[in-house]
Amino acid sequence: MNDRVTVVIRGLEVFGRHGVFPEERSLGQRFVVDVEMQVAGDAAARTDALGDTIDYGALCDAIAEIVGGEPVALLERLAGLIADRVLQEPLAVGATVTVHKPHVALRHTVAEAAVTLHRERG
């Protein structure tokens, strides 16, 4: 079988200090992260065992550490760091990460800036 399961984390809110400008790093702001993970196989659908899938509670903790940790300039970099962490999960074969920056400092009024990155296990 070539079945796959998609595990989704949507709307993880974490305070971080990312951005190009010094004010963004000194003041910080809320970031919102969405992650879709492709899991190899569908064993958990048959076994009902946490070990046969991705523990999204533990993964949320790891993502929160990344977002709340060392500042980076670009949302693309932050999304890449998160995708790399997701792909450290043994059963993860692909990850789509969207990082939302709701209070982006622009001359124009926008609801948010966001970056979506898709990465697969190579």
Domain boundaries, the chain: 4-120
pLDDT higher than threshold 90 for residue 9: yes
Helices 56-67, 75-86: crossing angle, 10 deg rounding: 150
Q: Please give the single-letter amino acid code of residue 58.
A: A
Cα gap 7→106, rounded to integer Å: 33
**40-91 per-position pLDDT tens digit:** 988 888 899 999 899 999 999 999 999 999 999 999 999 999 999 999 999 9
Domain 4-120 matching CATH 3.40.50.280: the answer reads no
Binned at pLDDT 50, 70 and 90, residue 103 comes out as: confident
User: pTM, whole model, 2 decimals?
Assistant: 0.94
Binned at pLDDT 50, 70 and 90, residue 1 comes out as: low
Give SS3 for 9. strand
**25-34 per-position pLDDT tens digit:** 999 999 999 9
Q: Mind telling me the catalytic residues? A: 101
CA end-to-end span of the chain: 21
Cα gap 35→104, rounded to integer Å: 21
